[in-house]
Structure 1
Amino acid sequence: MAIHYIHTNRLILIPFTLEVTKALIAGDASILPKLGLQLTPFWPDQEAIDTFPKIIKNLELVKAPTGFESYMVVHRDSMTVIGDAGFKGLPNADGEVDIGYAIIEQAQNRGYGLEAAQGLINWAFQQPNVKVITARCLLDNAPSARVLVKLGMQQVSATEEFIRWKLSNPNLEPSISS
């Protein structure tokens, strides 16, 4: 399967590859200009670096990118990476796929997290077997919860640490004829 970029109004979501992720985890960002990206001192930030081992693990589970892995969130105008977003693997047997996103501090509060997540959701709901998108956020992460509400997600449960959310594929809901 060819590597698929997701384009939104202001962003390009570029899939991580094993080569890119392994270089970044080793502290070598020189691979980014080879992809046409501008280096920035703000990314990868510590949150992204902490996520790289999970991204590598998910990429090693598939022979070729499926689209259900992680993406670099690239600001279209500056061609700088401002975060990462994606899925935590292929849809499960119930057609559920879990989404996550993180935007660097310098680019927060501008709608980029919402835009990246909406781009991922739009793409996912066009794929066969995707019935539900789930997410979770820390109980005290009000900005992330606001994004999930704006995406139309419904809170389904909460623990002392996390709130779990879900969004059903609107293309699969029964239509009501008049």
Structure 2
Amino acid sequence: MPPAIRFVELPPAAMKALLDDDLSAAGDAAGIPLTAYFVTDEAKFLWRFRLAQLDRDPSHAPWIVRAAVAEPEGVVVGHAGFHGAPNANGTVEIAYSVDPAHRRKGYARAMLAALLERAAAEPSVTTVRASISPENDASLATIAGHGFTHIGEQWDEDDGRELIYERSASVRNP
């Protein structure tokens, strides 16, 4: 049986504490203990980016990054969410990252399934997008079998070449 994932909001206060390497304050703000994975340089880039995004447009708050908690254990195994609220065409883009201490246990697929359920539950969402580096075999394998179709590619200033995949938000998960 695949693991179950519950998402816990990371409010701005938690992201600010993470930028200050204060896991205790971040955990208090989020209501769940967070791990050292949340204060890596890569994670700090994400917190700075998301805080700036919220400063520009607070309406993204219900959509962006959350702590991913494996249930029933209650263990934080990574973070996931969308790049933002649905765009004018009803598209949301998924994002997920599994703590290296918890990889290869099915958590990425469980996060993906939970994100797809969230997208399907929102009437304004029509399409779910994934942008993945062609060298990221793990993420390419994660989306396989979930109804995604390769529609093109793009150049990302931070991540380089990315393959773009999309699927209808209303497709049922396998």
TM-score bin (small chain): 0.7 to 0.9
Aligned to 1:48: 43
Q: Distance in 2 between matches of 1:148 and 1:115?
A: 11
Gaps of 5+ in 1: 1-7, 172-178
Aligned to 1:175: none
Q: Distance in 2 between matches of 1:117 and 1:44?
A: 23
TM-score by length of 2: 0.82
Displacement after TM superposition at 1:9 (Å): 4.8
- Per-residue CA deviations over 1:108-135 (Å, capped at 9, x if unaligned) read 1111011112111101111121000111
Q: Distance in 2 between matches of 1:60 and 1:53?
A: 11
Aligned to 1:24: 18
Whether contact under 8 Å (1:45, 1:104) holds in the other structure is no
Higher helix share: 2
Identity rate of aligned residues, in percent? 22
Say if 2:26 is the partner of 1:59. no
Q: Distance in 2 between matches of 1:37 and 1:81?
A: 8
Letter in 2 for 1:96: T
Letter in 2 for 1:11: I
Instruction: Compare CA radii of gyration and give the structure with the larger one.
Output: 1
Aligned to 1:164: 164
| Aligned residue pairs, count | 164
Q: Distance in 1 between matches of 2:3 and 2:58?
A: 31
- Per-residue CA deviations over 1:86-110 (Å, capped at 9, x if unaligned) read 1111111111111111111111111
Query: Which of residues 92, 98, 104 is equivalent to 1:97?
Result: 92
Query: Which of residues 4, 9, 14 is equivalent to 2:8?
Result: 14
Q: Distance in 2 between matches of 1:85 and 1:132?
A: 17
TM-score by length of 1: 0.80
Displacement after TM superposition at 1:66 (Å): 4.7
